[in-house]
Amino acid sequence: MNIMKFRKLIFVVSIATLTLGEVGCSGKYKRGNYPLNEKIPVVDTLHGTVIIDNYRWLEDSNDPKVQEWTKKQEKLTHLIIDPLPQRERLIRRLTQLSKYDDEGIPLKVLDGERIFFRTKKKEDELWVYNTKENDSSKTVELLNPNKWGPTETLDLTAPSRDGKYLAFGKAKGGNENPVIRIMEVSTKKILSDTLKGWRQGDVSWLPDNSGFFYSANPRKGKVSKGEEHYWNSVYSHKLGTQGFEDKKVFYHDKVKEYFHGASVSEDGNYILFYRYQFSKNEVYFKRVGCGEPPIPLAKGFDAGYSVEVIEDKFFIKTDKDAPKGKVYATNIDKPERENWKEFIPETKDRLLYIRGIAGHIYAVYSHNAMTKIKIYSLEGEYLRDLPLPAIGSASVWGYWSKEVVWVGFSSFTYPATTYKYDFAGDKLELYHKLPIDIDVSNYTTEQVWYSSKDGTRVSMFLVHCKDLKRNGENPTLLTGYGGFEVSITPRFSTNYIVWLEAGGVLAIPNLRGGGEYGRKWHEAGMRENKQNVFDDFIKAAEWLIKNKYTKPEKLAISGGSNGGLLVGAVMVQRPELFKVVNCAVPLLDMIRYHKFGYANIWSTEYGNSENPEQFKYLYKYSPYHNVVDGTKYPAALITGSENDARVDPLHARKMVARLEEANPNGKPILLLIRKSSGHAGGTTISSRIEQRSEEMAFLMDQLGMNIKEEEN
């Protein structure tokens, strides 16, 4: 990508656009009562286009002036949301659905009988990490984050292959920056070992316990200012040493945006090295103990590759020349591409991944955004489909050398359940189901198809009560994602359940840009094709209205991260189509997004405004730059997180200021910057309940929905 230089002119002018009014004691919103939004114009000229940015001063989270402005905005938000009766009722119901005694799935180590697993008591905010010497021995608590500092969380656990040691990472407030330490499991002693760099993760142990591989970024001062967010590399750590002794073993010295990872094969004989940038990657390998450089298996960033090592063979899943995915096999001593033999051919369904478990190959597919799992022999013979309990989303995991085949299943009205698969009897045996008391028998899921603006057929899931009346009066929540090849599939969510219990309809379209239908579906919604994603979402809304599920006055939209960009874009493109918007941790300034944190890695998905051709389409849809004065925008709650490692909350602040300026007497435009939270929100159960209750109470209030509570 060519980095285009542009001339910057800065003018500093202070303009008071709104007066600070009062909010009534009841918390009801009064038009025009926003905090003072000061305009300090900064003028850029990019590729001949003059851009005036009045709220660039809101980009600096550390500026006391920005912090004071944010406090005033949040005070207004809480005065409006906190008194809503839906909020307290949502907190009570979500607490019922989220706080209970539970135990996670046991992980037995590869070399031995030791087991690791998580537990949670009803009163716990965080899961506790435990171990047992074997199936019949007593449980020993290893790590209890509930006893740590108020913002500390357990962010990573990686037992050695025999369970003698445990690498674990502590993070703070959702910042995705764990500091990894090593525990001797039998004594619970924390070793003196430290690691190099920051954002440490992806630990993979060597079979002899001599050490492990991990990924990390360089610390400040080791690279140019700001570039510590990049240059991710793989390091090797020798047990009993300090981080400054760790060796960098796999990296790239020219492209700072690449991520790197290493994984030791189940048999302990090989190390796989990955270099990737989202859906495309390279793969290298070497034998454990070999001093030679890694050997390339797939290079050139021409597709996505994942590799399973089984009995001296590589099984390579790829979408190279197969947009829906296929699998090759080759002997490890003949890794060159000309020696690859087709193992599983491409089908009409997207192949998500393969797993070698208990002597068979399990291939997991997306069929119309729902899971299918096919089973193959080691020779490539198709044996059967794995039986699933319903239409929904499933995963399968386990070891090639172990007998247990684990299957996880969930759907919109099917709480998360774990099974063991009995291959000989071809049946699922219930192991664990979500321990919540809930009746979902009154709800149903349907999949519909509609035509987007360019005629492309798009699928959409609709979830609602079985006796729904299509009279155009149903409060409806439309949500989506549409990016980074991420698939949105049927999964159980307590947030969805409380919406359904309040009489709402849930609508989830499988937008282009996602991964439900393969690489071409993804590419049809990225970079210069991003408008297709917004068109797909808008057409979903129009279809719901045309088919009398709802109407604009009863339609809410919600999205987070790339989904926040989605709802931000459609909000400014079709404001009359929606009543209220929940826009969480969003990207909204698409001209400057790449300048903050490590966001430039997303240039492969979105493009970069420093490229003149990419600037054109980014500027055309960038939500922040397309707000129009005097437009009647929907009510909106726009949220960010103070410890967000991926999306800077500056986007939320700037968008709120611009929307308030555009229509100061319109529907409420509210801001919340979540404290002690990361990209995924709060780190404790209570904080997540509080955050979801604020968001959903605002949506429900705008749509006139009530939460029904059972009588005691």
Predicted confidence (pLDDT) per residue in 589-599, tens digit:
999 999 999 99
Per-residue DSSP letter, 260: E
Q: What does the pLDDT average to over 165-176?
A: 96
pLDDT digits (tens, 9 = 90+) for 41-80: 999 999 999 999 999 999 999 999 999 999 999 999 999 9
pLDDT for position 115 = 98
pLDDT for position 29 = 54
Q: pLDDT band for position 30 (50/70/90)?
A: low
The DSSP result for 592-603, as a single string, is: TGGGSTTGGGGH
Percent of the chain residues topping a pLDDT of 90: 93
258's CB contacts (< 8 A; 6+ apart) are 232, 252, 275, 276, 277
Q: pLDDT band for position 531 (50/70/90)?
A: very high
Q: What is the pTM of this model?
A: 0.94
pLDDT for position 5 = 29
The topology under which CATH files domain 73-94+447-703 is: Rossmann fold (3.40.50)
pLDDT for position 4 = 30
Token pair 């980074």 is found at 484
Q: b/e per residue, 244-268, with b = 16+ CB within 10 A? A: eebeebbbeeeebbbbbbbbbbbeb
Q: Which of 237, 260, 360, 679 is catalytic?
A: 679
pLDDT digits (tens, 9 = 90+) for 426-482: 999 999 999 998 999 999 999 999 999 999 999 999 999 999 999 999 999 999 999
pLDDT at 683 over 70: yes
290's CB contacts (< 8 A; 6+ apart) are none
- Interatomic CA distance for residues 294 and 640, integer angstroms: 41
pLDDT at 408 over 70: yes
Q: Which of 233, 306, 393, 561 is catalytic?
A: 561
pLDDT digits (tens, 9 = 90+) for 533-551: 999 999 999 999 999 999 9
Give the chain's mean pLDDT: 94
Query: Is residue 173 within 8 Å of 687, Cβ to Cβ?
Result: no
Helix axes 530-546, 562-573, angle to 10 degrees: 60
Q: What does the pLDDT average to over 170-174?
A: 96
For 138, how many CA atoms within 13 A lie in the half-sphere containing its CB?
A: 3
Tell me phi and psi for residue 626, to 5 degrees.
-115, 15
Tell me the domain boundaries of the chain.
73-94+447-703
pLDDT at 6 over 50: no
pLDDT at 8 over 70: no
- Interatomic CA distance for residues 343 and 145, integer angstroms: 45
Percent of the chain residues topping a pLDDT of 70: 95
pLDDT for position 437 = 86
* Among 35-39, 295-299, 574-578, the least confident range: 35-39
Residue 625 a catalytic site member: no
Q: What does the pLDDT average to over 296-310?
A: 97
pLDDT at 14 over 60: no
555's CB contacts (< 8 A; 6+ apart) are 476, 478, 541, 544, 545, 577, 578, 579
pLDDT at 402 over 80: yes
- Interatomic CA distance for residues 122 and 686, integer angstroms: 12
pLDDT for position 429 = 98
pLDDT at 235 over 90: yes
pLDDT at 209 over 50: yes
Residue 464 a catalytic site member: no
The DSSP result for 333-382, as a single string, is: T--SGGG-EEEE---SSEEEEEEEETTEEEEEEEETTEEEEEEE-TTS-E
